[in-house]
């Protein structure tokens, strides 16, 4: 992130909170890249004859692998080296927990908030934020733990 932003956030939040916020922002940028990969691979799979479900399974693996690699190289670059295959598998497994946060938030809001039931995009957005926050915390705490220090 630009040095001016880092200095400003450090002055406003303190060094530790600023570092965490910047890491979270990088995580969000990586997640956006993952979304683009997910979408592109899904549509490529559909064009090649994969169905909606098998194409989505392939696109999820491609997106999750992309986000793992980018997070390893950029977001959590300070993490201690870990065996790549183990770290990748742990990242995939923990992202399923993030999916549960995402879907759970969406489902709860659709069920209990009439405005969200009428405009489900609000639930999708809230779910995405909940899933991202969950995935960030799990990745930071368990997959790339040394980078959190």
Q: What is the mean pLDDT of the chain?
A: 89
- Number of structural domains (the chain) is 1
User: Does some domain include residue 71?
Assistant: no
| Residue pLDDT, tens place only, 72-106 | 999 999 887 888 999 999 999 999 898 888 889 99
User: Range of 148's domain?
Assistant: 80-149
What is the per-residue pLDDT across 125-149, written as a single tens digit (0 to 9) for each?
A: 898 889 899 999 999 999 998 644 4
pLDDT of 67 strictly over 80:
yes
129 lies in a domain?
yes
Taking only the tens place, the pLDDT of each residue in 27-46 is 999 999 998 998 899 899 99
Whether residue 120 lies inside any domain: the answer is: yes
Q: How many helices (H) and strands (E) does the chain have?
A: 6, 0
pLDDT tier for residue 68 given thresholds of 50, 70 and 90: very high
In a domain, 111, yes or no: yes
CA separation for the pair 2, 107 (Å, rounded): 38
d(CA 3, CA 80): 24
Q: Are the C-beta atoms of 48 and 73 separated by less than 8 Å? A: no
Res 146: pLDDT: 64
């Amino acid at each position: 992130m630009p040095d001016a932003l880092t200095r400003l956030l450090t002055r406003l939040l303190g060094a530790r909170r600023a570092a965490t916020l910047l890491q979270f922002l990088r995580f969000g940028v990586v997640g956006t890249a993952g979304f683009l990969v997910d979408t592109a691979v899904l549509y490529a799979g559909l064009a090649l004859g994969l169905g909606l479900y098998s194409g989505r399974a392939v696109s999820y693996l491609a997106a999750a692998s992309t986000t793992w690699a980018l997070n390893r190289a950029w977001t959590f670059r300070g993490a201690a080296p870990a065996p790549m295959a183990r770290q990748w598998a742990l990242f995939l497994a923990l992202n399923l927990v993030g999916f549960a946060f995402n879907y759970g938030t969406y489902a709860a809001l659709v069920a209990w908030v009439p405005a969200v039931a009428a405009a489900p995009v609000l639930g999708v957005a809230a779910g995405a934020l909940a899933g991202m926050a969950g995935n960030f915390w799990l990745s930071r705490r368990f997959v790339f733990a040394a980078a959190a220090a």
